[in-house]
Amino acid sequence: MKNHNKTDWAGCPVRYAAGIFGDKWCFILLRDILLHGKRYYGEFLTSEEKISTNILANRLAHLEQTGMLTRHVDAQKKSKVFYLPTAKARALLPAFLNIMVWSTEHDAQTEAPDSFAKAMQQDPIKTVEYYQRQIDAADARCHSTSNS
């Protein structure tokens, strides 16, 4: 999709979302961050889907530019870099969990347990809060000297 700057893609809510994560790799990266606790560049590279390093760098920059992630240098080992989800990215969690409910109900090969969709149906607020705490826990494992 050509010649669409950030402003072009603002306005319509669906188009705005598509401009930020309407791309398979951004979708996968947000999953890794919001649901798999990944934070480090090296961790994203090892995901099952085998993203290549130039594309990873490109998408991390995109997510940083759109206010979804912030980049940080590791305090213990300055050659390592991690990315933390912003409040904006964290706010996507409910939408993502709803997408996942849909997938578990329509993908015959789903790997998600029945308990997940059930939990979301019975008490969505509590379920969302559970996953939010997981995000906090993943963030807590990362320490930077100052911001970059």
Contact segment (CB under 8 A) with a copy of itself among 17-25, 57-65, 71-79, 139-147 equals 17-25
What tokens appear for 97 in the block? 């969990």
Q: Judge residue 121's burial from the number of C-beta atoms within 10 Å of its C-beta, 0-12 exposed, 13-18 middle, 19 or more buried.
A: exposed
Contacts of 10 (CB under 8 A, 6+ apart): 16, 19
CA angle 69, 124, 37 (to 5 degrees): 30
Least distance from C-beta 40 to DNA, angstroms? 4
101 binds a copy of itself (CB under 8 A): yes
Q: Under rule CB under 7 A, which residues in 105-124 are in contact with DNA?
A: none
Contact segment (CB under 8 A) with a copy of itself among 4-12, 56-64, 69-77, 134-142 equals 4-12
Contact segment (CB under 8 A) with a copy of itself among 38-46, 73-81, 93-101, 134-142 equals 93-101
105 binds a copy of itself (CB under 8 A): yes
110 binds a copy of itself (CB under 8 A): yes
Q: Hey, is 147 helix, strand or coil? A: strand
Least distance from C-beta 61 to a copy of itself, angstroms? 18
43 binds a copy of itself (CB under 8 A): no
Rounded Cα distance, 80 and 82, in Å: 7
Question: In sequence order, what are the beta bridge partners of 83?
Answer: 71
Least distance from C-beta 83 to DNA, angstroms? 8
What tokens appear for 19 in the block? 């401009």
Q: Which of 90, 104, 101, 71 is nearest to 132 (CA)?
A: 90
Tokens 């930077």, residue located = 144
- For a copy of itself, the binding residues (CB under 8 A) are 1, 7, 10-19, 22-25, 27-28, 30-31, 35, 48-49, 67, 88, 91-92, 94-96, 98-112
